[in-house]
Structure 1
Amino acid sequence: MTDVSTSDETQVDVETASESESSSYDAAQRRSRQIEADLAGDAGRYRMLTGDRPTGRLHIGHYFGSLANRVRLQELGVDSWIVIADYQVITDRDGVGPIRERVLSLLVDYLAVGLDPARSTIFTHSAVPALNQLMLPFLSLVTDSELRRNPTVKSELAASQRPMSGLMLTYPVHQAADILFCKANVVPVGKDQLPHLEQTRVVARRFDETYGRGSLKAPVFPQPDALLSEAPNILGTDGTKMSKSRGNTIEIGMTADATAKIIKRAVTDSDRNITYDPQGRPEVANLLLLAALCTGRTPQSWADEIGDGGAGRLKAVVTEAVNSTFAPIRERRAELEADPGHLLRVLAEGNARANAVAEATLDEVREAMGMAYDLA
């Protein structure tokens, strides 16, 4: 009897949690649509924070999944902040690897795809001490159990064969500091990243409840909203998730010849007639999607045109589409890589802007907490 009751209660809890997540996602979608509609006429009221960990070279999945959208938001007039999260590299690994090379490679990709350092502040974690100092008061506002419920932390704990580092456990709070130090009010995310953003909103709300209204009589931090992306799910050339660690990616900076070789090895199937069937023929559908993204056409239109041309014709189409799309980006990459001094100047200027904003925010935090000891 007791066992059955416990099982029923557990099932109810699971259903309730599922309903709550669905409701939160629906609310996030509605707010995201409102923001998108607002961007056309009032983009200047928004500050966006996003970024990447420098763990390797970026690939075309990154381009279509996030980089192109960042450029779009920049062009609309959104105040864009891009963090190269070098400190976060060590959350789940023993060392940083060739970190300087990877940071500069990320910067090259950013600039090559169209991010403009005059309109987008590009900076590194490690160069902004005040940002990282915000983690201390923020950590006081969350519990151990809350952190362990975060999906990224949970998956790391389940998958790792070693004890979790303190930095990994506090990863959600570090992300909150990234967003809140510059008072970003919008963050481009996918559905799976909403728990991270909700943790940030919780930190902002709790800080305000604990300190903001009591001393400054006004909120210190905004509660940022999600700008939910409709990023296409591009598979790797082996038909599995595109991942640097799997070696199944087409890097943004690859040569045309290297790209052709990678696509030639891409997995397809034995049916010569090319059709767009994401469920039944995911590998073929993935190549059609890639051609469509590069050309502005639909996957179905490419399938109709290729017809019984077989995998060879399909791969030729994709190769031409990818190389044509990325040729100007790769040309720009080569120019940027030839001028490392320019790259370092861009990073220095971005770090300086980030430091100025972070220090001003930290001053506000100290004042709110009653920890401002400077002479009047």
Structure 2
Amino acid sequence: MAKPRTFSGIQPSGELHLGNYLGAIKNWVADQEHYENFFCIVDQHAVTVPQDPKLLRERTRSLFALYLACGLKLEYCVLFVQSHVPAHTELAWLFATITPMNWAERMIQYKEKKEKQGEETSVGLFSYPILQAADILLYQPKYVPVGEDQRQHIELCRDIARRFNDRFGQTFVIPEAFIRPQGARIMSLTDGTRKMSKSDPSEFSRIHLLDSPDAIRKKIQKAKTDSIRGITFDDPARPEAHNLLTIYMLTSGKSKEEVAAECAGMGWAQFKPLLADSIIATLEPIQKRYQELWSEPGYLHELMRENAAKARAVAEQTLQKVRDAMGFLSLEGSLT
């Protein structure tokens, strides 16, 4: 039987951090043999806010190399850059013509970002979820691994697919959000109630995958804690304790019960060096492989070219079905 297909996308608008790895990429790597995977670096989403062109190109290449360094294997996945596959923007436009305005207006993330950007809010930011739906549906996946904060966007994608199918005939698979309960939300080191984010202005809120050991130790040392003796999971009054224990559990490979027993009698002065060492040991092989790949730009470029061709072959097949269903005249074959 064919493996179920998955699609995942991530922006190259900042450095990957520990939350990205533990919440998503580590799981992708662990399960990659069981699925037919499409991983997309969504650089066209990144430009919904101003970007430095040179930095965007560098971050896109870096993210491609870092995905591979984290353990994604090209025999199990297609790893490609969104802008290398023109079908994404064409399908987004076609979806925009059938998507009601109020569907896009209800998106919570758009409302939040609009408040920050004010009059500088772009049409692209408003239509971002429609492009996201095109990204996904081009590859007809069964599952879309996402964080809880993206659930609403996946529901919009499903609504668009159903609307298209109802209007033009069965064309799209209706994808399912795949949200893992454990480790899906790694929180900020400076605020245990907020998700770790590359957009946070404080560098001490997150650990980048390419941070040096000294930088990691410094950030963990400064991580927000409390004055309660003993470190425990699941106390609503202690979100930072829960977050740091979760990071230790996921980087050490120990069970929740093992970590709870090990750390119950510890103070923060004893626990923080232990956590820092665990993170450093987790990231060391990733950083080593990344440096090897980054030192061979020609090899990286060729991998990008090969994978873009694989993605285009699948995306164009879907897009042609859409064109035919909507009544566009093709120059291929007969005109009758």
Q: 3-state SS of the aligned residue for 1:50?
A: strand
Structure ranking higher in helix proportion: 1
> Cα distance, 1:277 vs. partner?
5.2
Question: Percent of aligned positions with the same letter in both sequences?
Answer: 35
Give, in whole Å, the separation in 2 of the partners of 1:239 and 1:161: 26
Number of the residue aligned with 1:5: none
> Cα distance, 1:275 vs. partner?
3.8
Give, in whole Å, the separation in 2 of the partners of 1:297 and 1:290: 11
Counterpart AA for 1:221: F
Change (3 A) 1:273 1:225: closer
Change (3 A) 1:128 1:199: same
Number of the residue aligned with 1:339: 296
Give, in whole Å, the separation in 1 of the partners of 2:6 and 2:72: 13
Counterpart AA for 1:194: R
Give, in whole Å, the separation in 2 of the partners of 1:278 and 1:342: 49
Out of 231, 235, 255, the position equivalent to 2:187 is 235
Larger radius of gyration: 1
Number of the residue aligned with 2:127: 170
> Cα distance, 1:162 vs. partner?
1.9
Out of 313, 323, 327, the position equivalent to 1:370 is 327
Give, in whole Å, the separation in 2 of the partners of 1:123 and 1:266: 35
Number of the residue aligned with 1:80: 37
> Cα distance, 1:224 vs. partner?
0.9
Change (3 A) 1:150 1:309: closer
Out of 2, 7, 11, the position equivalent to 1:53 is 11
TM-score of the superposition, structure 1-length normalised? 0.81
Deviation digits for residues 68-117 of structure 1 (CA, Å, limit 9, x no counterpart): 121133122x1100110101012133655611111112112210111112
> Cα distance, 1:195 vs. partner?
1.9
Number of the residue aligned with 1:62: 20
Give, in whole Å, the separation in 2 of the partners of 1:175 and 1:139: 11
- Any conservation in 2 of the 1:289–1:298 contact (CA below 8 Å)? no
Counterpart AA for 1:234: I
1:77-226 paired onto structure 2 within 5 Å = 78-93=35-50, 98-212=55-169, 219-226=170-177
Deviation digits for residues 278-325 of structure 1 (CA, Å, limit 9, x no counterpart): 423322332222111112224564454345542221111101211122
Change (3 A) 1:366 1:273: closer
Q: 3-state SS of the aligned residue for 2:267?
A: helix
Q: 3-state SS of the aligned residue for 2:271?
A: helix
Give, in whole Å, the separation in 1 of the partners of 2:329 and 2:182: 44
Number of the residue aligned with 1:359: 316
Give, in whole Å, the separation in 2 of the partners of 1:184 and 1:291: 33
Change (3 A) 1:284 1:97: farther
Out of 277, 291, 300, the position equivalent to 2:248 is 291
> Cα distance, 1:156 vs. partner?
2.2
RMSD, matched Cα: 2.1
> Cα distance, 1:255 vs. partner?
2.0
Structure 2: segments with no counterpart, 5+ residues = none
Change (3 A) 1:191 1:319: closer
Give, in whole Å, the separation in 2 of the partners of 1:79 and 1:163: 39
> Cα distance, 1:267 vs. partner?
2.1
- Any conservation in 2 of the 1:90–1:96 contact (CA below 8 Å)? no
Deviation digits for residues 318-372 of structure 1 (CA, Å, limit 9, x no counterpart): 0121112222222211211211222111211111111122222222222222213
Are 2:211 and 1:257 aligned?
A: no
TM-score of the superposition, structure 2-length normalised? 0.90
> Cα distance, 1:141 vs. partner?
1.0
Change (3 A) 1:134 1:325: same
Q: 3-state SS of the aligned residue for 1:223?
A: coil
Counterpart AA for 1:49: F
Give, in whole Å, the separation in 2 of the partners of 1:321 and 1:262: 14
Structure 1 stretch displaced more, 357-366 or 80-89? 357-366
Give, in whole Å, the separation in 1 of the partners of 2:47 and 2:229: 46
Counterpart AA for 1:114: G
Change (3 A) 1:199 1:295: same
